[in-house]
């Protein structure tokens, strides 16, 4: 079994697919573009993945790009909901963006290879982040 842990600093809400695209009309034509906050989050995520992969390769840990993986995501949110008594944020907000970051990193060839995804959320006012664990091995190959 091969495993890799990645920590993406910052508010998990910025990883939301809902925030990734913006729409406008210019000269009578509808246009879609990537939002500035999405570009910033992607750059931070891509650097976190590059660093984690570099460290893993230093100890001879490699992924097979055409083999299935499991992804475990824990998002640590900076706000607390008094009404619901839990962290304020949708647990599934970062799922699509995290899978896209895994693909961009080169760990896998296509995010269709994500066979299982586990999502959790927690509260950390002073250190919001997304912790991603990618696992590839016997359990994923069945």
* Average pLDDT of the segment spanning 16-38: 77
pLDDT digits (tens, 9 = 90+) for 74-129: 999 999 999 999 999 999 989 999 999 999 999 999 999 999 999 999 999 999 99
* Average pLDDT of the segment spanning 47-56: 96
Q: How sure is the predictor about 30, in pLDDT bands with cuts at 50, 70 and 90?
A: confident
Are the C-beta atoms of 134 and 71 separated by less than 8 Å?
Answer: yes
Q: How sure is the predictor about 20, in pLDDT bands with cuts at 50, 70 and 90?
A: low
For residue 113, give the nearest of 61, 63, 65, 53 by alpha carbon: 65
Q: What is the model's pLDDT at position 142? A: 54
For residue 96, give the nearest of 20, 7, 36, 33 by alpha carbon: 20
Which secondary structure element, helix H or strand E, spans residue 103, and what is its range? helix 95-105
Q: How sure is the predictor about 38, in pLDDT bands with cuts at 50, 70 and 90?
A: confident
Q: What is the model's pLDDT at position 57? A: 92
Q: What is the model's pLDDT at position 37? A: 85
pTM of the model: 0.86
Question: 77-100: b or e for each residue (b if 16 or more CB lie within 10 Å)?
Answer: bbeeeeeeeebebebebbbebbbb
Average pLDDT, the chain: 90
The proportion of the chain whose per-residue pLDDT surpasses 70, expressed as a percent, equals 92
Q: Give the angle 91-9-44 at the CA atoms, nearest 5°.
A: 110
Residue 21, pLDDT > 80, answer no
More confident: 124 or 14: 124
Burial of 134 (0-12, 13-18, 19+ CB in 10 A): buried
């Amino acid at each position: 079994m091969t495993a890799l842990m990645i920590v993406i600093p910052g508010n998990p809400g910025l990883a939301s697919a809902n925030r990734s695209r913006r729409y406008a009309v210019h000269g009578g034509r509808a246009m879609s573009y990537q939002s500035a906050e999405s570009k910033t989050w992607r750059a931070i995520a891509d650097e976190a993945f590059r660093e984690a992969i570099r460290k893993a390769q230093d100890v001879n840990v490699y992924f097979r790009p055409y083999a299935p993986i499991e992804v475990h995501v824990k998002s640590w949110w900076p706000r607390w909901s008094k009404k619901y008594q839990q962290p304020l944020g949708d647990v599934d907000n970062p799922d699509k963006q995290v899978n896209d970051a895994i693909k961009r990193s080169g760990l896998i060839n296509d995010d269709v290879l994500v066979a299982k995804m586990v999502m959790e959320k927690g509260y950390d006012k002073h250190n919001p982040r997304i912790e991603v664990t990618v696992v590839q091995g016997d359990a994923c190959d069945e």
